[in-house]
C-alpha cells in the first residue's frame, strides 16, 4: 500500500507540471500575434533611426510621424506586460494547480515517514516544516525556512520582496520531494520500492569478508597504489598511440605550441605543403609529446 501511495503522489505532481507547461504554451500562443506586430513596428522604427538622410535633430519627429507618442507609450506598456523573462519556465502557471495539490499532499505527508541522505537533508527539513504548517494551519512560511535545496529557477519565484511565497515554496518542496524519491536521496519507511541506495548493495561487513574474493574474480589488485600504477601504464600506452595517429593523419596539424588542430577547410594549401612549411621544409610533421593530462609540448622528429 505504501508504494501505491507514493506512486500516486508521483503521478499527481507530474501531471500538475504537465498541465502548467501546457498553460504556458497556450499563453505564449495567445500573445504571439501581438508580439509579431511589435517586432514589425520595431523593424520600421529602426529603419528610421538608421536612415542617414534624417538628421539627429529631426529623428524624434520622424518617429512620431510613424507612431504618435501616445501610441508608443501604450505599445511599450503592452510589451512589458507580455514580455517573458530570459529564463522563462512554467512555475508561475503551476500555481493554478495549487488548490488541487492541497487536496492530497497534506494527507500524503502526514501518512508517510521519510528519511534522507546527507545530500537531501535540507529538503527533508523543508518537508517536515511543511508538515508542521499543515497541522497548525499556519499560512505564512517562516523567514528562516529552508530554501537552499531549491534550484535557482525555483528560488526566483519563491523569494519575493514580501518574503517567501507560500504557494511556490510548497510546490517546490513537493516537486523536489518527488525527484528525491525517484533518485533514492529520500526514502520511505515500510516501502519496498522507495529504499535508500545502499539497501541495494552488500553490507559493509560482507564487503570486507569478500573483498579479496571479488578482487580475484575481477583480476584486480587489492592495493590502490598498485592499481594506480597499472592505470598509469595504460594511459601512457594510449597516449603513445594517439601521438602516432596524430603524426600520421594528413588531416590534422600540430601548431607551434604543440596543440593539434584541424586545418581550415577553405584553405587551398594541400596537407603536404602545410606540413613542409610548418616543419621548415621537411615532409614530416612535428609530433606532440605527452607531458601531462592537460599539457602538450612539441619535439621535431
Q: What are phi and psi of 184, to 5 degrees?
A: 90, 0
How many other C-beta atoms can be found within 10 angstroms of the C-beta atom of residue 3? 13
Q: With contact defined as beta carbons under 8 Å apart, do 177 and 127 qualify?
A: yes
The pTM score is 0.61
Q: Where are the domains of the chain?
A: 2-91, 94-198, 224-299
CA 131 – CA 173 distance, rounded (Å): 11
Q: Which residue has the higher pLDDT, 168 or 1?
A: 168
Based on C-alpha coordinates, what's the Rg of the chain? 32
Tell me, rounded to whole angstroms, the distance of Cα 297 from its chain centroid: 35
End-to-end CA distance of the chain: 72
CA 221 – CA 182 distance, rounded (Å): 35
Q: What are phi and psi of 148, to 5 degrees?
A: -70, -15
> Which range is least confidently modeled, 14-23, 31-40, 65-74?
31-40
pLDDT tens string 212-266: 898 889 888 888 898 899 899 999 999 999 888 888 888 788 777 777 777 766 6
Return the C-alpha cell found at 175. 516537486
Residue 57 has pLDDT above 80, yes or no: yes
| pLDDT score recorded for residue 266 | 66
pLDDT tens string 124-154: 999 999 999 999 999 999 999 999 999 999 9
CA 20 – CA 251 distance, rounded (Å): 50
Residue 298 has pLDDT above 90, yes or no: no
Could you give the percent of the chain with pLDDT greater than 90?
A: 46
Place of cell 493554478: 96
Q: With contact defined as beta carbons under 8 Å apart, do 75 and 67 qualify?
A: yes
Tell me, rounded to whole angstroms, the distance of Cα 128 from its chain centroid: 27
| pLDDT score recorded for residue 246 | 82
Place of cell 598511440: 241
| pLDDT score recorded for residue 256 | 77
Q: Which residue has the higher pLDDT, 300 or 45?
A: 45
Query: Mean of the per-residue pLDDT values for the chain?
Result: 84
Q: Which residue has the higher pLDDT, 76 or 237?
A: 237
Amino acid at each position: 500500500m505504501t508504494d501505491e501511495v507514493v506512486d500516486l503522489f508521483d503521478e499527481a505532481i507530474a501531471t500538475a507540471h504537465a498541465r502548467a507547461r501546457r498553460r504556458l504554451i497556450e499563453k505564449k500562443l495567445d500573445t504571439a500575434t501581438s508580439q509579431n506586430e511589435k517586432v514589425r513596428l520595431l523593424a520600421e522604427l529602426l529603419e528610421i533611426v538608421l536612415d542617414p538622410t534624417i538628421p539627429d535633430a529631426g529623428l524624434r519627429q520622424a518617429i512620431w510621424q510613424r507612431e504618435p507618442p501616445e501610441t508608443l507609450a501604450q505599445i511599450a506598456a503592452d510589451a512589458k506586460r507580455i514580455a517573458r523573462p530570459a529564463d522563462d519556465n512554467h512555475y508561475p502557471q503551476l500555481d493554478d494547480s495549487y488548490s488541487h495539490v492541497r487536496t492530497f499532499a497534506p494527507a500524503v505527508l502526514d501518512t508517510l515517514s521519510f528519511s534522507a541522505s546527507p545530500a537531501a537533508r535540507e529538503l527533508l527539513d523543508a518537508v517536515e516544516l511543511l508538515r508542521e504548517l499543515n497541522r497548525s494551519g499556519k499560512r505564512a512560511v517562516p523567514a528562516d525556512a529552508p530554501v537552499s535545496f531549491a534550484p535557482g529557477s525555483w528560488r526566483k519565484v519563491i523569494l519575493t520582496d514580501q518574503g517567501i511565497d507560500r504557494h511556490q515554496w510548497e510546490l517546490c518542496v513537493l516537486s523536489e520531494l518527488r525527484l528525491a524519491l525517484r533518485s533514492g536521496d529520500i526514502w520511505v519507511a515500510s516501502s519496498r520500492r522507495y529504499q535508500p541506495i545502499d539497501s541495494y548493495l552488500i553490507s559493509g561487513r560482507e564487503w570486507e569478508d569478500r573483498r579479496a574474493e571479488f578482487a580475484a574474480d575481477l583480476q584486480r589488485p587489492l592495493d590502490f597504489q598498485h592499481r594506480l600504477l597499472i592505470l598509469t601504464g595504460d594511459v601512457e600506452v594510449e597516449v603513445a598511440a594517439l601521438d602516432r595517429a596524430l603524426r600520421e593523419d594528413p588531416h590534422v596539424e600540430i601548431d607551434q605550441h604543440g596543440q593539434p588542430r584541424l586545418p581550415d577547410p577553405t584553405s587551398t594549401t594541400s596537407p603536404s605543403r602545410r606540413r613542409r612549411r610548418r616543419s621548415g621544409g621537411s615532409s614530416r610533421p612535428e609530433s606532440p609529446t605527452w607531458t601531462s593530462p592537460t599539457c602538450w609540448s612539441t619535439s621535431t622528429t
